[in-house]
A = this chain, B = another copy of it.
Amino acid sequence: MSDRPGRGHSGTPRRIPEATVARLPLYYRALVDIAEHRISTVSSERLAELAGVNAAKVRKDLSYLGSYGTRGVGYDVEFLLHQISRELGLTRDWPVAIVGVGNLGQALANYKGFGARGFRIAALVDADDDKVGREVDGLAIEPIRALPEIVAERQISIGMIATPAHVAQEVADLLVAAGVRSILNFAPAVVAVPDGVSMRKVDLAIELQILSFYQLRKGGPARRRDRAATGAMDVEEGLEQGLDGLHQGMAG
């Protein structure tokens, strides 16, 4: 915050569209790569290429953050990295709790890719007493009934639900009651959360079904091994992914 270069007359530069927010992490990742190559400036064209989007979109997206580019030159990599990172809150520490330490929960707990962006697994919680006490990657599994204290003491802000689907809503309710305001749900279930709590979901089965839908309309039902199959359904590039699921109740 502090000094707001560019167009910050008032408090917030402008509202950042949802679609833009979803792309900022892509730019961030691309910029990290660029920075590692000791490159100091980057054009929207190049950034677009690395992020896999359109150059105009990159410029428009970045313009929501402020006028951070230099005409005729491009964007300063370090500076932009800092701005995006601040905007996304990556300069902070985000303690995460994983609820349900089964197959998926363990994989998540073992995953090393979180720390870099400030997301830190701070708690593993399960309802199975046989699992409680066991350690995963140096972190002990704790009983679900301890959730309120855990969330409060460790300032947990994000909860991941990796339990069976039929208890997902119940778990979400517990997380919310404990004070968690952001939830990432991996269970294939519709989970409702009150206003003020964000919920996003990752649903494997849906992704696969979308893929099969389109595959069905490509080479025809009877799979042929030939590649010049000439699908009857010609969808041009640029179709956006997903849109599935709700992002509920962002209010404070």
Contact = CB atoms under 8 A, between A and B. Distances in A.
B25 A205 contact: yes
A70 interface: no
Interface stretch (A73-81, A125-133, A209-217): A209-217
Nearest 6 CB-CB pairings of A with B: A231-B252, A235-B250, A52-B190, A241-B245, A107-B107, A22-B244
Contact of A236 (B231, B233, B251): B251
Given A229-B252, A243-B243, 14 more contacts: A23-B244, A25-B206, A25-B244, A26-B190, A28-B209, A30-B190, A52-B192, A90-B209, A114-B204, A119-B205, A181-B219, A184-B208, A200-B241, A241-B246
A82 interface: no
A209 B242 contact: no
A110 interface: yes
A122 interface: no
Contact of A209 (B24, B157, B196, B201): B24
Bin the interface of chain A by size: 35 or more
Contacts of A158: 208, 211-212, 215
A92 B205 contact: no
Interface stretch (A38-46, A138-146, A220-228): A220-228
Interface string A132-175: 00000000000000000000100101100000000000000000
A3 interface: no
Nearest to A53: B246
B184 A211 contact: yes
Given A221-B157, A240-B246, A244-B23, A188 B231 contact: no
Interface in A188-208: 188, 190, 192, 195-196, 198, 200-208
Contact of A202 (B1, B22, B207): B207
A29 B188 contact: yes
Contacts of A7: none
Contacts of A184: 204, 207-208, 211
A22 B242 contact: yes
A212 B23 contact: no
A89 B196 contact: no
Q: Chain B CB within 10 Å — which of A89, A94, A114, A196 has the most?
A: A89
Contacts of A252: 217-219, 229-234
A48 to B, nearest CB: 11
Given A94-B212, A240-B18, A251-B231, A225 B179 contact: yes
